[in-house]
Structure 1
Amino acid sequence: MKTMRSFLIGIFTVCCGSTVMKAQDVYLSIPENNIFNRSEFTSVPTRVMINPNRTNWDYTFFGFGPTAPTFTSVSGPNFTHSSSAFNLPSSTLLWQLESMGGQLPSTGLSGYLPGFQQFNTSAIRWFEPPASILFGGGFYRGNINFTFKIPASQFAANSYRAGNYSMDISQNYNDFTPRNFKTILVIPSSIRWFTTSLTKYIEISSLNDYRSTGTRVFTLDNAEIAHTTDFNLWAKAASTNIQFTSSKGVPGTRNISNIKLGGNGSALTTKALSASFQNFSPASFGVVAGNRSSFIPELYLSAEDFKNNFFEAGTYTFELNFNATSTDNSINSLQNTAVQLKVLPRSEITIPNSGRNVNFNFNTASHYTNGQSQMIPNQIVLSNNESFELYVKSDENYFKKGGLQTNINSNILQIGMDGSSVDTPLSKTPKKILFNGTPVLDRGLNIRYTIPPAGAQSLVGKENTTYSINLYYSFTAI
């Protein structure tokens, strides 16, 4: 039994000794807010050593020649990362004595407290005692506390990677314990979206956008992610469908795969969107100086898909889900962006110069007996991104001769379209010649002009001259 008891006491003593030494290491947990916001970090008063006995400094010669207390880095000029080859310069951390036994030491007549300093491989004095014990000085027993600081400029200049950065420190007073300790910077593992672009509005206001043959590119707002660990950017659409509401309130859908997501540089690879998460990082985003990575997401549409699927006037909406995930999949940060593409109602009627004049010549008996008809190919080039009806009217109810009104009624001229058997008599009141037209871009219409036999016969006996009338074509959205 005695042997067993001694054995157990021996184990207990060794374990306690190990725990005490570890507790003397200085751990400084750096909040992610200071890292990501690049704002100065200042610690609470932190115990670095314990002074159980002393009340004054060492003096080398009859109370003169004080031995100043010092810190020396014995592991090199940098804080080294515990699990990688990364490091931080000693300038990243500043420190200053805060108290000894609850109060600052007396400076006497010639001593002083140095300002904030950094560790060095050479001895750095953390207090300057008076030149002689006769000039006053001294301190209280108890904890020796320091205040630690990381300036804002250091957060901007260095990369702080998740894990522990340590530096081995030695101090020169035997009565202060411990003589050797580690100063450890604890960096949390974190990823956070630093920008909050929750919506993106895109407006299309010109039909020329649909005439371009190049890929359409829609730039989303700059994205900035703060992080202390490497990550990949995953993304998806919230649904396989884009929700569409026409300018007249009619609902519909479009397939999300028509749109591709990528970036303005090499940071993101380009892929068609789907409702499943995909990794858009060709290489992971590494931790960089300042701990922020930025990129500009872009949406791509081929000219053909843009014209075929996003031409109709109305609003197209979908949601993008972004997920910044650490490379070991241990942490992530989500952000959603609602995208709204609004296409404004636009229409155009173009009549080429070659089709601006339609001439009827009456110079044979057959012309007066049978009338005349002619088809003008592609006389009207039509663009409208809404459902529509096409109308025609004259500026007056009668033809004019030399600018003066005659008694030849405008209704002797009838207007129709190729493919339709309906010919509409011309009137000052708009008459419909195209029914239930669907959205169309640059469609050429063949227009048929007819003066039927009855109208032609009404011209018998009229003066041989030129009679004219102006026609106007117009849209009405339906």
Structure 2
Amino acid sequence: MKTYNWIVLGVLLFASSTMLVKAQDVNITIPVQNIFNHTEFTAVQTVMNTQGSSNWRAGAINPTIRSMSGNNFIHTSMPGFSLPTSVLHWRLASIGGQLPRYHWGDKWPGYKWLTTSYQTWYHPSIYSNYTPGNIDFSFKMPSNAFINHAFRAGDYSIQITHNYGVSGFYTIEFSPDSFYAILSIPKAISWLTGNNTAYTEISSLNKFRAASSEVLWDLGTFELGNTVDFSLFAKAASSNIQFTSTSGVQETRDISLLKLGGNHPKISTLSLTSVNKNFTSGNSFSVENGNRNGFQLNISLSQADFKNYFFQAGTYKFQVNLNAKDTNNSIAAPQNVDYTLKVQTLSEITIPNLGHSINFEFNTLAQYQNGQTKLIPSQLRLSNNETYELYVKTDAAFFKKAGIQSDVPSSILQVGIEGGSPEVVLSTTPQKIVNNGTPVLDKNLNMNYSISADAAQTLVAKEKSTYSINVIYSFIAL
């Protein structure tokens, strides 16, 4: 019975010892904020224990450590990836909770990094001692370590040994004899920069007249931090673009008119729909030095669709849902961009050089008896991106002769559009010649000008001379 108890006790002691050694592995978790923001990381962790000793070995032998596995931390699940030992700096922090120095004659080395050669972590004097307990090291990763290297999610490991282990000669022995220093990198994808809103304003009709085959709207420049490879997914929040006219009328446009693309070769240009799509062509975005990937995104559409569906004045709104997903779909980082396109109220009336003068000549009896009509082809070119009314008027109630007001009234002249509503009598009060006109771009109008037979006969008694008057066209938006 006693023998049985001793056997059980031995098994328990063995299991306890195994767990102790495993617990001595130094696992240093690097926060992704430090990795992505390139900011210095510091931590204090226990690396050894004095096993009850309070003195240094005879002769105050300098304690040292070295790497047993080369000058690199090796990724435990992807051995092809590594980090140089220079990314992790270390120095003694405390022994038994007591900060160095332990004697005025001691020397306390500054930060170093691991190599395959033994390096001293403390220089005790002959009279130095310490409080028994844990030996803690300060660990530091400078900012340039994050800038110059790629930290891939998972564990990077290196085996470390020291000269105060079991020797068979010295009674002062620190445990464990060797241990692993492990850099643990969390899985993470994070949007570091990028707008949640994007805005474009159209303030010129020339944008709709451009000869290019494509129109681009900028969504902004984005930068992501990542410790895993990822692909960029995107969709529209709705299948419709919401449009509100300047008069408050609500309409929609089909979201599939638009394409999402970017300036990075890994980003494909695809139609934007309400169904999630992978916009990453070929290989995914990898973990690069600095753990950042940046790109610019844009919305594009054909010039014809831009002119046909976005010409009307008002506000167009839609939302793009971006999502960066790792290749195993285990983590994702969403980002929404609310896009607003504002098209200003734009209108324009132009008259070609040859259409600035309309001449009526009264030289024959028939011209006085019958009156005259002048048709000026394509005299007016209209552009208006709102529902409109077109008016005509003059700035004077009477024609002028040699710059001086005459007694020939403006009402002798009638104005209208070929094929349009009846002509109106010219006066200083604006007269409507187009009612409820739909938005148009560069529409040519043939204009009619007439002096009726009755009006022409009133000119018989007038002094023979040249009479002139200004005809003025204007819009009113509905």
**TM-score normalised by length of structure 2:** 0.94
Equivalents in 1 of 2:350, 2:104: separation in Å? 97
Task: Identify which of 121, 128, 147 aligns with 1:137.
Answer: 128
What do residues 274-314 of structure 1 show as CA deviations (whole Å, max 9, x unaligned)? 00111111131111122121111111121111111111111
What do residues 221-240 of structure 1 show as CA deviations (whole Å, max 9, x unaligned)? 21111111111111111101
Q: How many residues align?
A: 468
Aligned to 1:76: 70
What do residues 84-136 of structure 1 show as CA deviations (whole Å, max 9, x unaligned)? 11111111111111222222465545421111111111111111122xx3xx1
**Please, which moves more after superposition, 459-468 or 352-361?**
459-468
Task: Identify which of 87, 91, 96 aligns with 2:86.
Answer: 91
CA drift at 1:464: 2.7
Task: Identify which of 167, 191, 199 aligns with 1:193.
Answer: 191
- 1:308 partner SS: helix
CA drift at 1:22: 1.3
Contact persistence 1:105–1:140 (CA under 8 A):
no
State whether structure 2 residue 314 is matched by structure 1 residue 314.
yes
Equivalents in 1 of 2:196, 2:100: separation in Å? 55
Equivalents in 1 of 2:256, 2:100: separation in Å? 72
State whether structure 2 residue 127 is matched by structure 1 residue 128.
no
**Please, which moves more after superposition, 342-351 or 108-117?**
108-117
CA drift at 1:67: 2.2
1:334-345 equivalence runs, <5 A: 334-345=334-345
Q: Which runs of 5+ in 2 are unaligned?
A: 166-172
Aligned to 1:239: 238
Equivalents in 2 of 1:58, 1:2: separation in Å? 40
Equivalents in 2 of 1:5, 1:255: separation in Å? 81
Equivalents in 2 of 1:261, 1:106: separation in Å? 62
- 1:192 partner SS: strand
Aligned to 1:117: 112
CA drift at 1:248: 1.2
Aligned to 1:221: 220
CA drift at 1:13: 5.5
Contact persistence 2:372–2:452 (CA under 8 A):
yes
CA drift at 1:21: 2.1
- 2:468 partner SS: coil
Equivalents in 1 of 2:6, 2:98: separation in Å? 43
Equivalents in 2 of 1:108, 1:459: separation in Å? 124
State whether structure 2 residue 391 is matched by structure 1 residue 397.
no
CA drift at 1:461: 3.1
1:385-464 equivalence runs, <5 A: 385-464=385-464
Aligned to 2:170: none
Aligned to 2:97: 102
Aligned to 2:35: 35
Aligned to 1:472: 472
Q: 1:369 to 1:75 in 2, by over 3 A?
A: same
Contact persistence 2:194–2:221 (CA under 8 A):
no
Equivalents in 1 of 2:2, 2:102: separation in Å? 55
What do residues 332-384 of structure 1 show as CA deviations (whole Å, max 9, x unaligned)? 01111111111111111100001001111222222122211121110011111
Contact persistence 1:242–1:255 (CA under 8 A):
yes
Contact persistence 1:105–1:137 (CA under 8 A):
no
Contact persistence 1:106–1:138 (CA under 8 A):
no
Residue identity in the other structure for 1:68:
N
Equivalents in 2 of 1:191, 1:106: separation in Å? 43
Contact persistence 2:194–2:220 (CA under 8 A):
no
Q: Which runs of 5+ in 1 are unaligned?
A: none
Residue identity in the other structure for 1:116:
Y
1:269-418 equivalence runs, <5 A: 269-282=268-281, 283-418=283-418
CA drift at 1:8: 6.9
State whether structure 2 residue 61 is matched by structure 1 residue 67.
yes
Contact persistence 1:377–1:446 (CA under 8 A):
yes
Contact persistence 1:106–1:139 (CA under 8 A):
no
Q: 1:105 to 1:265 in 2, by over 3 A?
A: closer
What do residues 190-224 of structure 1 show as CA deviations (whole Å, max 9, x unaligned)? 11111251111211111111110212211222111
CA drift at 1:10: 7.1
Residue identity in the other structure for 2:143:
A
Residue identity in the other structure for 2:66:
T
Residue identity in the other structure for 1:124:
Q
CA drift at 1:463: 2.8
Aligned to 2:252: 253
CA drift at 1:409: 1.6
CA drift at 1:75: 0.5
Q: 1:417 to 1:57 in 2, by over 3 A?
A: same
Residue identity in the other structure for 2:234:
A
Give the percent of matched residue pairs that are identical in Structure 1 and Structure 2: 49
Equivalents in 2 of 1:209, 1:55: separation in Å? 82
Contact persistence 2:67–2:161 (CA under 8 A):
yes
Aligned to 1:149: 140
Aligned to 2:19: 19
